[in-house]
Structure 1
Amino acid sequence: MSARSQDKIATAVMWLAGIIILAILVTFLGYMLYKGLPVLNWNFITGMPSDIYAGGGVGPQLFNSFYILGLSMLFSIPVAVGAGIYLAEYAGNDRLTDMIRLSTESLATVPSIVLGLFGMIIFVNMFGMGFSILGGSLTLLLLNLPVLVRVTEESIRTVPAHYREASLALGATKWQTIWRVVLPNALPGIITGITLTAGRALGETAILIFTAGTTVSRTVPDFDVMAAGETLAVHMWYVMAVGLVPDRVAVADGTGALLILTILVFNLMFALPSKYIQRKMAGGSH
């Protein structure tokens, strides 16, 4: 078989694999939206949940989803970006660096339910936070860190070396070079990592069941970080697992559709600025 024929076969296999993955995704999303979109209305999206009667909404859960996400990213991003900068720019090939990378990779392999149990032991019980938004956010920090650290390190490493050399040649210090040259050029990759991490955190259930709880405040919005913080994903699980409302299937379908739309919109909010920054950086490099 000629090299050209092998290339065509390999290309066809890759296209087929991509189409299969896309078809699975479209089927999954299409089914969830088909079942859930008819349920969505303003009262459902902003209303209070009901434990017994039909017609409850998910307003507090929607607020808690973004509130917990915002707090967890507020805790995660400075630590992860700092660790990524250290590993990419300062760390040498020594035992400490190997331990940091091993710890990061090991943390990435821990199941989320184990992280949830750890958060319950440390934050809920030992620190006395109870089931709270703060406890859930701090536990999500453990879920976010591995991906953000790795993405930040790799994004910084992809910045061409001559960018650093030119900055240092003009008299800038190492930190000035990192802050004003390296990080702006690595920003699109870092934003991509933040987007992936945020989408995963929005759909997380196991961690938040054990740390943020399955109840919500009766006040919306409630910015008390010590209040219970059931999210959309947890509410969908709770309604189908132990819910007593007669329309629990419809509530779960609507919650699932709202969660999917929320993640899609959230990803677009980050993806579009990232593409703009990449295009601007590419145009400025010529």
Structure 2
Amino acid sequence: MNPKKVDKAAIAVLYVLAALIVLILASLLAFILIRGIPQFSWEFFTQPAKTFEEGGGIIIQLFNSFYMLLITLLISTPVALGAAIYLSEYAPQNALTDFIRTAIEVLSSLPSIVVGLFGYLIFVIQWGFGFSILSGSLALMIFNLPLLTRTIEDALRAIPGAQREAGLALGLSRWETVTRIVLPAAMPGILTGVILSAGRIFGEAAALIYTAGQSAPALDFTNWNPRSISSPLNIMRPAETLAVHIWKVNSEGIMPDGAEISAGASAILILAVLLFNLLARYLGRKLQQKLTSA
């Protein structure tokens, strides 16, 4: 058989497969957005949910989702960054580091429902945090750490060794080489890892059902005292996120306009993740230019 014809046929098959993937993704997005965007209104974004009445909104659930995302990233990013720096720059190649990497791979494959049950037993019951933002954030940290650690480690390992040698040749210590040369060069990859993990956090529901709770208490957005139960900043209050709200509305079926609320919330969830990714990529490019003078 003519090698050129085989090559053209293989390329054609790859184009078809790529187009099929794009078509499936576009169809899914179009289905969600076409059903959800017509539900958007000022009341939908600014009013709390109403269980037995029509016309409820998702302001509390939307705030809870972004707030829990922020808390989770603040907890998990420094831990994942430190672990990745150790594994990439300091850890020797031995049985211990191989075991650590295997443990990371095993943790990354755990179902989110298992992480939620673990969080319920440890954070909610054993540690006494109850159904709260803190319990949910700690559970999401466990869910998020393996992917984030592995992604940051890969970003650090992608930096050529010549750059490390150049830093050491200039008289920098190993830590100064990591912080002043390796980390700035790896920042785009690190931000990519944060973006991927943030998308998983924002859309997670199963782990939060057993840790953050399924209720959304009324919040007073003029009360910013973190000790008050009605304060949005209180991390010890239960918090129903947007993804959990979608699951709850569809599973209970007691909200009169539940289908419309679920469709609108799903569209917001998709758009929020998309906008967050675009913004993070833009900031990542700006940060790379600032840190590397590229």
The TM tier, using the shorter chain, reads over 0.9
Counterpart residue identity of residue 133, structure 2: I
**TM-score of the two chains, using structure 2 as the length reference:** 0.93
Aligned equivalent of 1:83 = 83
State the 1:217 CA deviation. 2.3
Q: Which residue of 2 aligns with 1:42?
A: 42
Q: Distance in 1 between matches of 2:177 and 2:292?
A: 19
How far is the alpha carbon of 1:87 from its aligned partner? 0.7
Identity fraction in percent: 46
Question: C-alpha separation between the residues in 2 aligned to 1:184 and 1:282?
Answer: 6
SS of corresponding position for 1:52 = coil
Instruction: Call closer, same or farther: CA 1:181–1:282 in 2, change over 3 Å.
Output: closer
SS in 2 for 1:49: coil
Unaligned runs of 5+ in 2: 222-231
Matches within 5 A, 1:166-181: 166-181=166-181
- Aligned residue among 256, 261, 264 for 2:274: 264
Give the corresponding residue for 1:211: 211
Residue by residue over 1:131-162, the C-alpha shift from the partner in whole angstroms, topping out at 9 and shown as x without a partner, is 10100000000111111111111100111111
Q: 1:237 pairs with 247, 268, 272, which one?
A: 247
1:174 and 1:283 map into 2 onto residues whose CA distance is 22
Give the CA deviation at 1:243.
3.8
Contact 2:184/2:288 (<8 A) preserved: no
Q: C-alpha separation between the residues in 2 aligned to 1:6 and 1:84?
A: 43
Whole-angstrom distance in 2 between the partners of 1:162 and 1:129: 48
Whether the 8 Å contact between 1:216 and 1:227 is mirrored in structure 2 is no
1:194 paired residue number: 194
- Distance in 2, Cα, partners of 1:21 & 1:220: 44
Q: Give the match for residue 147 of structure 1.
A: 147
Residue 283 (structure 2) aligns with = 273
Question: Shift of the alpha carbon at 1:283?
Answer: 7.4
SS for the counterpart of 1:53 is coil
* Equivalent in the alignment of 1:136: 136
Q: C-alpha distance in 1, partners of 2:33/2:220?
A: 26
Equivalent position of 1:110 in the other structure: 110
* Counterpart in the other structure of 1:18: 18
TM-score by length of 1: 0.96
CA contact (8 A) 1:59 1:220 kept: no
**Alpha-carbon distance in structure 1 between the residues aligned to 2:263 and 2:86:** 44
User: In structure 1, the residue corresponding to 2:210 is in which secondary structure?
Assistant: helix
Amino acid at match of 2:249: V
Deviations 1:94-145 (A, max 9, x none): 1210111011000001000000000000011111111101000000001111
Contact 2:81–2:149 (Cα < 8 Å) also in 1? yes
Distance 1:63 1:87, change over 3 A: same
Q: 1:197 to 1:177 in 2, by over 3 A?
A: same
- The amino acid of 1:25's aligned partner reads L
What is aligned with 1:249?
259
Deviations for 1:216-245, whole angstroms, at most 9, x for unmatched residues?
120144111011110001001101101412
SS of 1:211's equivalent?
A: coil
Computed over aligned residues only, the root mean square deviation of the Cα atoms, in angstroms, reads 1.5
For 2:236 and 2:112, the matched residues in 1 are separated by: 22
CA deviation map 1:24-60 (0-9, x unaligned): 1110010100001010112111211111111110000
CA distance in 2, matches of 1:197, 1:134: 18
* CA separation of 1:242 and 1:65: change in aligned 2, threshold 3 A: same
- Matched residue count: 284
Amino acid aligned to 1:136: G
Distance 1:170 1:206 in 2: 50
Q: Which residue of 2 aligns with 1:61?
A: 61
Contact kept, 8 Å, 1:240 with 1:248, in 2: the verdict is yes
